[in-house]
Amino acid sequence: MTSKLHTKPTFNATSNNIDSKFTTHITAIGKHSLLSILLTFFTLIASTKTAQAELVDLSNPEPVIQFSTQDASWLKQPEFYFREGSLRCSDSVTGEPIRVRSGQILEVTLSLLVDEQGSITHVNVRESSGNRCFDRKATRQVKTGIMKPFFIKGKKVTGRVTLPIKFKVP
């Protein structure tokens, strides 16, 4: 039959210091006890407080209305600047460079989401030009503009408009 060996912490009689192993164990026990007490305290407080939550409807209360290009006008036109060098990039699938030729016409059609203040909040490429560098640059640059807000029955509304952009490579 085996018996359990019970040991008591020993003190070094010559140095009057507590054994370093004993100190380490006390420190670890103290940290865990403190964390346990804090967690218990937090749980007690949280369980006695009534939960207060508010349901927020994150869906768009009004549908986004598609406006024609003729209905859209600029408050501040974006500055489009395309250099021939910035239109060179490589195909994402094959890795081959996309070539641009002098006189080539690049055309991209963008779909713009315009908020009630006229800011362009989101841009999608509806029809690509075939040159993804040109498409990305046009998407970035159109966001610098501000459109006049769209109105329905005298009230500003969020709207979507399609914008074609053509560029002739010099």
| CA-based nearest residue to 135, from 165, 105, 114 | 165
Q: In the chain, which residues have pLDDT < 50? A: 13, 15-16
pLDDT at 34: 74
pLDDT per residue as tens digits for the range 62-108: 678 888 888 889 999 998 887 766 677 777 766 777 778 888 899 99
pLDDT at 70: 84
pLDDT at 162: 95
pLDDT at 88: 73
pLDDT at 48: 65
Burial 48-74 (b: 16+ CB within 10 A, else e): eeeeeeeeeeeeeeeeeeebeeeebee
pLDDT at 19: 52
Full-model pTM: 0.60
pLDDT at 85: 67
